[in-house]
Structure 1
Amino acid sequence: NGINFYDTARAYTDSEEKLNYAFEGFNEKYPRESVIIATKTQGENRKDIEKDIKISLDNLGTDYIDLYQIHNPSFCPTEGDGSGAYDALFDLYDEGIIRHIGFTSHKEELAKEAIESGLYETIQFPFSYLTGPKELAIVEMARANNVGFIAMKAMSGGLIGSSKAAYAYINSFDNVVPIWGVQRMSELDEFLSYMKDEPALDDELEEIIKKEREELQGDFCRGCGYCMPCPEGIEIFQCARMSLWIRRFPSAPSLTPESQEKMKKIEECTECRQCVSRCPYELDIPELLKKNYEDYKKILSGEIKVD
């Protein structure tokens, strides 16, 4: 039992270098062929993709990438479409530099287009037990088209409270591989324990899922960060989730002077709506920020009590 699939990206700061460091540059202890490495390019043309792959290979300390994914593009690259993006990916595949070609997106229509194109072997898309019929339809479309489905945001950006329920739910789909976004050793230990003794999606876990779906129904920020940066320096992906975060986890870390200062930045929002244009979930972010800030001020004043 263990984990052999590692997902990273050029856009994730120094994530690729850290992966290289963790595997000690690959050696007899950690043979390169013992792991599957997936990374990504935000390039949407040949020049940028060819530049990105060279940097990724160097960062990762390898001479090939198992799965190379085009990272949340503004369109679905296809053969001969004039952008040169897919043609560059295929040439890298033909040369053996990448072994599989994938597509990542937060947008339903682009994900469907990529699946139906027949050009991509995997689709990476947000999926958890908080998602609904649209996401389930994409999972089934991927299955029908023999496209692997990689579930990002499997813990919904940290809002899901039960990793056991999350694991059991995702594990009930035989064509879905999750990315858990582990940040602590304790979290890693939890998921490794589930792999050794897989939890069944029983009545108890179903009840947890039902309760959390009721609490988190409607529009809420998934914390993907695509709205950033904010011209006024507002940490949108933190501030727009505060009302949920402060109720689902111990409130003390969210009430520190530093957190209060970050929330106060919401007052500087000019409603330029740049964030709205970037949000893949089409949220009214300025309005969401206002609601969270008003709620936060009531919590600070003691008008609303939280644990």
Structure 2
Amino acid sequence: MTQEQNAIIRVNRRKSADKGTEQYLIQIKERKNNMSQITLGNTGIIVNKNGFGALPIQRIGMEEAKFILRKAYDSGINFFDTARFYTDSEKKIGYALDDVRDKIYLASKTMSANAEEFWQHLYASLEMMNTDYLDVFQFHNPAFCPKPGDGSGLYEAMLEAKEKGMIRHIGITNHRIKVAMEAAESGLYETIQFPFSYLATEEEIGLVQKCKEKKIGFIAMKALSGGLITNSAAAYAYLAQFDNVLPIWGVQKETELDEFISYIDNPPVMNEELLSVIEKDRKELGGEFCRGCGYCLPCPAGIDIPTAARMSLMIRRAPVSVYLNDEWKAKMKKIEDCIHCDHCKNHCPYGLDTPALLEKNLADYKNFI
């Protein structure tokens, strides 16, 4: 055999090996993608297991929001959740992502109390996001579970919107476990969005399991419990144990986004270290505490209830300078101006005695400083 023939054989072997390596790497990538994806119940929606929660982007400018939204999309995130209630969040999504509309999934929400408001909100959402349909349209934390024939006309409006092709799937969000359970049992909803983190109760875990049994897409909001959970790796690893849960992470800073993007290729895995973090937090944060949902607002006395009502926890979990400055001393002092109208107490979806919780946190704050 000549040297030339030997050389040809070596080249062919190398090509074959390279091809085998390439195919292997493709298979690894596909397996990785499958691990980082989730199917939302029976909707047929398959998305990256990092959903983008667009409430916080209402606090930043249009161009900054566009940069963050585009970076999220370019990094593989393709589910974006917003709401009519989130001021200009929908407009920012439309501005940033309308040219890739066919490659993403958009979910929004309506707090409408009747059919007329429903249509106003839906048309506004479509216009703001520069689209002619929403993938998921959700009732936004209603005090009851909308159903056909309940007199509100809300569910009938949802069905009509779906028949017209203006929405693809019907969902509901809630902070009340009773309403969420009723929605899951009703068979009327394709997705349910509910607060879910490693601080969840057995009843809340039961809701997730119920949704899996009934093939309802479960969207987890407040996976960081409104900022009380500070270890995102532990939060991610815990939720990853539930193969039917899509967490939506509220993002307004690039550094926050980068953290969750890094988990796409290198997802945190539950281990002893993360388990100890979770157990420690459960001991510290267990029981009744304010989740910071904000449904108690506005306060007629101008109290920043969502933060003030959990100040005892915040001052022990954040740098001291954040909450022990003159600004926050003045904000906490406003608790003394409470007129005891019980607006916050009556609107708390968790049934907390908010005025009593505020007084307790103020006393602890004074002792702490």
SS at match of 1:61: coil
1:226 aligned to 2:295?
Answer: yes
Structure 2 residue aligned with 1:133: 202
TM-score (norm 1): 0.94
Structure 2 residue aligned with 1:53: 122
SS at match of 1:247: coil
User: In structure 2, what residue type is equivalent to 1:160?
Assistant: I
1:66 aligned to 2:138?
Answer: no
1:104 aligned to 2:178?
Answer: no
1:90 aligned to 2:164?
Answer: no
SS at match of 2:167: coil
Out of 222, 235, 254, which is 1:185 matched to? 254
SS at match of 1:178: strand
Structure 2 residue aligned with 1:124: 193
Distance 1:237 1:282 in 2: 14
Question: Residue deviations 1:131-173, cap 9 Å, x none?
Answer: 1101101001111111110001110001101000000111110
1:44 aligned to 2:118?
Answer: no
Q: How far 1:7 sits from its partner (Å)?
A: 0.4
Structure 2 residue aligned with 1:206: 275
Structure 2 residue aligned with 1:299: 368
Identity %: 54
Structure 2 residue aligned with 1:11: 85
Q: How far 1:203 sits from its partner (Å)?
A: 1.3
SS at match of 1:189: helix
User: In structure 2, what residue type is equivalent to 1:146?
Assistant: K
Distance 1:270 1:219 in 2: 23
1:20 aligned to 2:94?
Answer: yes
Structure 1 residue aligned with 2:316: 247
User: In structure 1, what residue type is equivalent to 2:340?
Assistant: E
Q: How far 1:187 sits from its partner (Å)?
A: 1.2
1:289 aligned to 2:349?
Answer: no
Q: How far 1:270 sits from its partner (Å)?
A: 2.0
SS at match of 1:99: strand
1:174 aligned to 2:243?
Answer: yes
Q: How far 1:117 sits from its partner (Å)?
A: 1.1
Distance 1:122 1:277 in 2: 27
SS at match of 2:316: helix
1:144 aligned to 2:223?
Answer: no
User: In structure 1, what residue type is equivalent to 2:119?
Assistant: E
Distance 1:284 1:77 in 2: 27
- Aligned length in residues: 295
SS at match of 1:180: strand
RMSD: 1.0
1:78 aligned to 2:152?
Answer: no
Q: How far 1:44 sits from its partner (Å)?
A: 2.8
Distance 1:248 1:78 in 2: 42
Q: How far 1:22 sits from its partner (Å)?
A: 2.1
SS at match of 2:218: strand
TM-score (norm 2): 0.78
Q: How far 1:250 sits from its partner (Å)?
A: 0.2
User: In structure 2, what residue type is equivalent to 1:69?
Assistant: Q
Distance 1:113 1:236 in 2: 29
Question: Residue deviations 1:101-146, cap 9 Å, x none?
Answer: 0011111111111111111100001100011101101001111111
Q: How far 1:46 sits from its partner (Å)?
A: 1.1
Structure 1, unaligned runs of 5 or more? 301-307
SS at match of 1:191: helix
Distance 2:124 2:105 in 1: 18
Structure 1 residue aligned with 2:56: none
Distance 1:74 1:272 in 2: 20
User: In structure 2, what residue type is equivalent to 1:151?
Assistant: A
Structure 1 residue aligned with 2:36: none
SS at match of 1:52: helix
Distance 1:249 1:21 in 2: 34
User: In structure 1, what residue type is equivalent to 2:86?
Assistant: Y
